Chains A and B, each alone.
Chain A
Amino acid sequence: MITTLTAAEIAAKLRSKEVSAPEVTKAFLDRISTEDAKYGAFLAVDSERAMAQAEDAQKRIEDGTAEPLTGVPVALKDNISTEGIETTCASKILKGYIPPYDATVTAKLKAAGAIIIGKANLDEFAMGSSNENSAYKLAHNPWDLKRTPGGSSGGSTVAVTAELAPLALGSDTGGSIRLPASFCGVVGFKPTYGRCSRYGLVAFASSLDQIGPLARTVEDAALLSNAITGHCNLDSTSLPHGPISLDGLKGGSLKGMRLAFPVEMYGDGTDPEVRKATEKALDDLRSEGAIIEEISIPTIPLGVTTYYIIAPAEASSNLGRFDGVRYGPRSQGQGHIDVVAKTRAEGFGHEVKARIMIGTYALSAGYYDAFYLRAQQVRAAMTQQFNEAFEKYDFVISPTAPVTAFELGALSQDPMQMKLLDYCTIPANMGGFPAISIQAGFAHGLPVGIQLMGPHMGDERVLQAAFAAERVLETQRKRPPIS
């Protein structure tokens, strides 16, 4: 069946003409229309447009101008601009917004001949860790529909896990690609900050946001990374380097690889079963020749607090643009300020309002030095400590999340517990480091992810190491109970 294949397998079958691009796209569209009601992965699907793209892709395959992803469907998180397709960020404040332009990643995928299969569900404006903050609908974990897939890239992750799309793009500000990848047992990769253009990604916290792939294998994640990265002059934080290379992806070995395990990565909230699964994975890697040593990075426990100053501060500024003037619905009121304040109060959900409030408070007169500046100094200290680790070790390894997927609603009364889900993933955003989550094993019958972090611009090496680790941990992987 086409939908069970990986992106690499689909690409091979397209090239050998075993299947055609329209057949592939139709197979996924059909599966979305019969299955997605129970998963909640998609907010918008434009079948007509997708089929038209597939016809074009087929022409390229026939005339020999196809690229690796030509004819392969990709789901896009709905905070990524797609010309002509509604982009809401799962917020009511952008209901009906049809972008007049493509994000750089969207344009690159189109140029590569990939098919935009649909727009994936998320926590409103990517703020959340369970996808429960979507203003439109819940997303459900394919391993157990009562549970969260994680967030904020919940829909993208569910799409690849439930085989509704072979590939998806997410965005990661504090772990929003890697956490759901861990909860759903798939691969999620956040590239080095600046390797993937943020142009057309609706901004949440600009110094932390990065787009990246979700896929079922490391090879697929690498293929998508290659297609979306590279310098872009529409993003002034874009690094002056070419796309993430696929050379050597499969040529790595764990033998002699030096991995640092920061002891602080087991925080207070770590589930003992997750710890057990992590230790088992570490032993498996050791048995293949990896050298794993415990180290200390004392700033790790400060990550969540630091994040909850920096990210809301930047968000409070970025979300200032939603004022009911250029896009979205406008509320009635008396005069400009009242209209704007009512538009925003009615358009934003609770979590978004909370973060705007935290950020506005942290940046307000008298608190800037104590909070924002201080947080940026902690960020500097943390980055320095990780850089020191990368002088002695190839990678930093840790669990991706302290727990496994929890039941929907279980943490809705406990916002602090929800925030701690990103405990292990935040440091990579703070330092801009590349980091990947791959499936390590199981706890309570649910997937557990393991995270590999590398130094700046070490994207290729992280993917290569993850590819080698995936081979070793493969025996622990299973297919989710999907029809």
Chain B
Amino acid sequence: MAISLDEVRHVAKLARLDLDEAEVMSLQTELNALLGHFADIQSLETKDLEPILHASNLTNVWSEDVVGTSLKRENALKNAPVSKAGLFLVPMIIED
């Protein structure tokens, strides 16, 4: 099993990474090296095993439905590269 350059470009698109060609090439090599090792875990008999999703064994953690304190709007916006009228300004999504 090997990953092609086109697959690397496709995954980069899914991951929202605008990679240059040099990065695409080097990541292809790295991904393929790692994929070789991924085969190691296929040999273990795991049919009856429930996958572990996290290690704390907690389910359905609820808290009381009460109003708490939250960040002030101006503090939440302080680190935004662009904001306007008390809102985060996102890049254009829908064309005029």
Contact = CB atoms under 8 A, between A and B. Distances in A.
Interface of A: 96-98, 100-101, 193-194, 206-208, 233, 236-239, 299, 301-302, 304-306, 308-309, 316, 320, 323-330, 333, 335-342, 344-345, 348, 350, 353-354, 356-358, 360-361, 364, 370-371, 373-381, 383-384, 415-416, 429-432
Given A333-B91, A357-B12, A302 B40 contact: yes
Contacts of A324: 81
Given A316-B15, A341-B17, A344-B18, A98 B78 contact: yes
Interface in B29-51: 30-31, 33-34, 37-38, 40-42, 44, 46, 49-51
Contacts of B53: 207, 376
Contacts of A377: 44, 46, 49-51
B85 interface: no
A378 B18 contact: no
A325 B38 contact: no
Contacts of B38: 305, 309, 371
Contacts of A335: 91-93, 95
B80 interface: yes
A368 to B, nearest CB: 11
B16 interface: yes
A138 B23 CA distance: 23
B55 A341 contact: no
Contacts of A306: 41
B33 A378 contact: no
Contact of A237 (B19, B20, B56): B56
Given A239-B58, A323-B16, A340 B91 contact: yes
A328 B17 contact: no
A301 B37 CA distance: 11
Interface string B55-81: 110100101000000010001101111
A340 B14 CA distance: 12
Contacts of A323: 16
Given A357-B27, A358-B31, A431 B55 contact: yes
A136 to B, nearest CB: 18
Given A302-B40, A377-B49, A380-B49, A354 B79 contact: no
Contacts of A237: 54, 56, 58, 61
Nearest to B88: A325
Contacts of B44: 299, 302, 377-378, 381
Given A194-B56, A305-B38, A377-B44, 7 more contacts: A97-B79, A330-B82, A340-B16, A377-B50, A380-B52, A431-B55, A432-B54
Contacts of B55: 193-194, 207-208, 383, 429-432
Contacts of A340: 16, 91
Interface string B4-32: 00011001111111111001001100110
Contacts of A432: 54-56
A336 B91 contact: yes
A348 B23 CA distance: 12
26 contacts: A98-B79, A101-B71, A207-B55, A208-B55, A237-B61, A238-B56, A305-B37, A306-B41, A309-B38, A323-B16, A324-B81, A325-B90, A326-B79, A335-B91, A338-B18, A341-B17, A341-B18, A344-B16, A345-B17, A357-B27, A358-B31, A364-B14, A375-B41, A376-B53, A416-B34, A432-B56
B3 interface: yes
Given A305-B37, A309-B38, A381 B54 contact: no
* Chain B interface, >50% SS class: loop
B91 A344 contact: no
A323 B50 CA distance: 35
Nearest to A330: B81
Contacts of B27: 353-354, 357
Contacts of A316: 15
A342 B12 CA distance: 11
Contacts of A325: 80-81, 88, 90
Contacts of A370: 42
Contacts of A345: 17-20
Contacts of A98: 78-79
Contacts of A364: 11, 14
Given A342-B18, A354-B27, A381-B46, A326 B92 contact: no
B35 to A, nearest CB: 8
Nearest to A302: B41
A236 B23 contact: no
A454 to B, nearest CB: 14
A268 to B, nearest CB: 13
A308 B11 contact: no
A316 to B, nearest CB: 6
Nearest to A236: B61
A100 B75 contact: yes
